[in-house]
Structure 1
Amino acid sequence: MLKTSVSLACAAASGCALLCVPAAAHAEGSVTLYGIVDGSVLVTSRTRDSATGQNDGARVSVTDSGLSPSMFGLAGKEDLGGGLTAEFKLESGVNVADGGLNNSNGNLFGRQAWLALRGDFGEVKTGLQYSPFFLALYDLDPRGCSQFGSSLVPYLNNVVGTGIFNANALSYSTPVLAGFQGRAMIGLGGEAGNFSAGRQYSLSLRYDNGTLAAQAAFYDGNGGGTVATPLPTTVPFIGRMLGASYKIGSLTAKASFASYKVAGGFSSNVYGGGLDYFVLPQFDVNGGAWFTSDRNDTGNHSILAAIGANYLLSRATTLYAQLGVVDNHGAMNTGLDVDGRAVDSALYGVHGTTVGGNVGVRHIF
């Protein structure tokens, strides 16, 4: 986030400085440099040994992206006249802990790399982009798809980066009509002799009247194809999602159901919900819980719960603290945090109960 329009994965929108560039006559163009730098200290009572899958004891570590994914990007927009605009985005995930790539498919601009046309007809977009399914996940998360203790953890635990970073994709978003908006995307996979290999498609429908919002989304992705990224983004799975939110003043309640049918892995149902409340304009508290169950063997299940507090020191800088607990039963291995490094990663957990928390700072530019 998505916080992005996602943040996967999930980053908040930010104000950025505009760098003017030459534009054609009768058109206005701009390029915006934007980004997020987020670092934290993470403490966990138990840590998974990647070699054995067993408990490796308590750990304290400096982690990248404790709340939102660290990243930077360029966004461009040109007014073509008649209500039509051309837009592009090139976005890269970075790791503030070691300066490497992170929060992406592993490539330099592995978060987003697309070109779009937008007008009264809606929006047509081509290139590396988020799926409607993942955008629905972000919308329905009461913790804004935090990197710690949110619906992002069981999502990545099931399908890694698939559905977040969709390569070779075409999408269409309708204009908002009477509160409704639809999105459709197809990722053109294919390989010699097999057109459907690596193909990905996703649909969503959203209704929002300003107080009540409801959303349904679908994802279907095949394995194979010619797309090869350092982080797996073509895990074959079928996803379904339903959810709703209700807003009263500064309080927003959200609830959702997601299904991940993963080829060769768990077929999981995830039930989640929680609250987000702005105590003050500069002070936000939120909490959520997610119960994950393997449909093929209900003895494999977990419950993840987390709370967080975010205090805005300025419009650009946020101080945050988060606390969470996850309890795994059977073969379930839900973790607490999305830090993407192989060492000290808390994305995958161990059998039993693990408690953890982090404190950090996020700066948006």
Structure 2
Amino acid sequence: MKKIAAAAALAALAVPSFAQSSVTLYGVADMFYQYADGANSLSRAQSGGLAGSRFGLRGSEDLGGGLRANFTLEGGVNLDDGTSGQGGALFGRQAHVGLSGAFGAVSLGRQYTALYAATNDHSLFTSAGAGPSTALIGGFGGGYELVRGASATAAPPQAGATGNGAPARINNSIKYESPSLAGFKLGAVYGMGEVAGASGDNQVMEASVRYTGHGFDVIGSYLTDEARGGIGVNSTDARIGTLSGAYNFAPFRVVAGYIDFDDKRVANLDGEGAWVGIDYQTGKTTWKAQYVINSPKNLSNADSKAFGVGVVYDLSKRTALYSSLTRFRNDANAGAGGLGRFNAALPAGLTSAVDNDITEFAVGIRHTF
């Protein structure tokens, strides 16, 4: 009996300890039909129109005394062909582990920056590939995609210091987020260059502050991105300032943001982008409109502008139908080769040197789990 009682006591102690650990499987499945009309027309099925399709694992363990261990493993998925997003990385969206407590949170791995939060949380069309999204902003510094992430070549200056994902996501990084102080949260991310003999090369640093309260949500950040092809060879040297915000006065919400790209190289290929939008929610339906502009500072007649309207209808808490209609106006010198910019990589043949404006219609479905 004593042995049975002892075993029961140990089991009783083990149960609450086990209950303090949790792992959650989550994700987004998002597909849409896209019709784009420029110099030529294009019809296709695409992944991630309202939000990037993904799957992830998120876990937390209570270590006692208010201390918790946390991890996230999140991979992008291209539902149209079943491949992995973010250049084929298994967990290309996020992959990190860390501790949190009264001091805030510290984590290590591949992680989002405040620039990512600004261009998604405060954009009514996020940075996804449908509608007038913030993915229009970029292409500065000779091809640097500061919102979409690195180019397919993963070569500076397109890639930035941390390969695929910079500066929206940073590899090899340490991240700190403070607890809320009267609505303010401070943040810092340091992406280690990991270059032998030149520790300052190939590194990314960001400092940020976020305020949430009284209907406002505001983010400000300053990021430096330095990618060098070798010791002392500067391939990318950028400073990126971001300010964005949202104000909720139900049933309306207003969003706006501004990004400044300062190219510190001799080429000095600066640029800036901005957006403003408003939505209106009535029952299960949300109507929205947004305007985005992308402007290289080193070229004249090179702006890209997008204005679009959209609607989202919630079939349930997890499933929504959506649609949008967007007009992209590209100046003659906009985009690489003067062929214009779009909310994703520009499809070959969609524009021409004499006709680089695009009208896009999209309709899709998003399911979260």
State the TM-score, normalizing by the size of structure 2. 0.80
1:24-72 deviation per Cα after TM superposition (whole angstroms, max 9, x unaligned): 94761111111111111110002xxxxxxxx5x1110111112111110
The one of 214, 219, 238 equivalent to 1:215 is 219
- Ranges in structure 2 where 5+ consecutive residues have no aligned partner: 1-13, 150-164
When residues 70 and 352 of structure 1 are mapped into structure 2, their CA distance, relative to the original with a 3 A threshold, is same
Instruction: Give 3-state SS (helix, strand or coil) of 1:138's partner.
Output: helix
Q: What is the Cα deviation at residue 259 of structure 1? A: 1.0
What corresponds to 1:74 in structure 2? Answer: 57
In 2, distance between residues paired with 1:347 and 1:218? 35
Tell which deviates more after alignment, 24-33 or 145-154.
Answer: 24-33
When residues 139 and 37 of structure 1 are mapped into structure 2, their CA distance, relative to the original with a 3 A threshold, is closer
1:237-289 deviation per Cα after TM superposition (whole angstroms, max 9, x unaligned): 32111233221122111122111235668421112111122122x21121111
Contact 1:138–1:144 at 8 Å: present in 2 too?
A: yes
In 2, distance between residues paired with 1:347 and 1:243? 31
In 1, distance between residues paired with 2:126 and 2:195? 37
In 1, distance between residues paired with 2:144 and 2:327? 19
When residues 317 and 225 of structure 1 are mapped into structure 2, their CA distance, relative to the original with a 3 A threshold, is farther
What corresponds to 1:87 in structure 2? Answer: 70
What corresponds to 1:278 in structure 2? Answer: 281
When residues 98 and 265 of structure 1 are mapped into structure 2, their CA distance, relative to the original with a 3 A threshold, is farther
In 2, distance between residues paired with 1:345 and 1:72? 33
What corresponds to 1:186 in structure 2? Answer: 190
Q: What is the Cα deviation at residue 162 of structure 1? A: 1.6
What corresponds to 1:151 in structure 2? Answer: 134
State the TM-score, normalizing by the size of structure 1. 0.81
The one of 194, 199, 222 equivalent to 1:195 is 199
When residues 292 and 153 of structure 1 are mapped into structure 2, their CA distance, relative to the original with a 3 A threshold, is closer
When residues 113 and 225 of structure 1 are mapped into structure 2, their CA distance, relative to the original with a 3 A threshold, is farther
Q: What is the Cα deviation at residue 144 of structure 1? A: 3.5
Letter in 2 for 1:359: V
What corresponds to 2:20 in structure 1? Answer: 28
What corresponds to 2:33 in structure 1? Answer: 41
Q: Does 1:288 align with 2:290?
A: yes
When residues 314 and 329 of structure 1 are mapped into structure 2, their CA distance, relative to the original with a 3 A threshold, is same
When residues 195 and 225 of structure 1 are mapped into structure 2, their CA distance, relative to the original with a 3 A threshold, is farther
In 2, distance between residues paired with 1:42 and 1:93? 20
Contact 2:29–2:53 at 8 Å: present in 1 too?
A: yes
Counterparts of 1:187-266 in structure 2 under 5 Å? 187-224=191-228, 236-262=237-263, 266=269
In 2, distance between residues paired with 1:188 and 1:98? 34
In 1, distance between residues paired with 2:211 and 2:353? 36
When residues 347 and 96 of structure 1 are mapped into structure 2, their CA distance, relative to the original with a 3 A threshold, is farther
The one of 105, 113, 116 equivalent to 1:131 is 113
Cα root mean square deviation, aligned:
2.8
Q: Does 1:97 align with 2:80?
A: yes
What corresponds to 2:155 in structure 1? Answer: none
When residues 290 and 112 of structure 1 are mapped into structure 2, their CA distance, relative to the original with a 3 A threshold, is same
Contact 1:61–1:344 at 8 Å: present in 2 too?
A: no
In 2, distance between residues paired with 1:70 and 1:45? 25
In 2, distance between residues paired with 1:137 and 1:331? 25
Q: What is the Cα deviation at residue 23 of structure 1? A: 8.4
Q: Does 1:109 align with 2:91?
A: yes
Q: Give percent identity, aligned residues only.
A: 28
Which structure has the bigger radius of gyration? 2
When residues 108 and 23 of structure 1 are mapped into structure 2, their CA distance, relative to the original with a 3 A threshold, is farther
In 2, distance between residues paired with 1:112 and 1:278? 31
Query: What is the aligned length?
Result: 324
- Ranges in structure 1 where 5+ consecutive residues have no aligned partner: 1-21, 47-54, 227-233
Quick check: which one's helix share is greater? 2
In 2, distance between residues paired with 1:146 and 1:162? 16
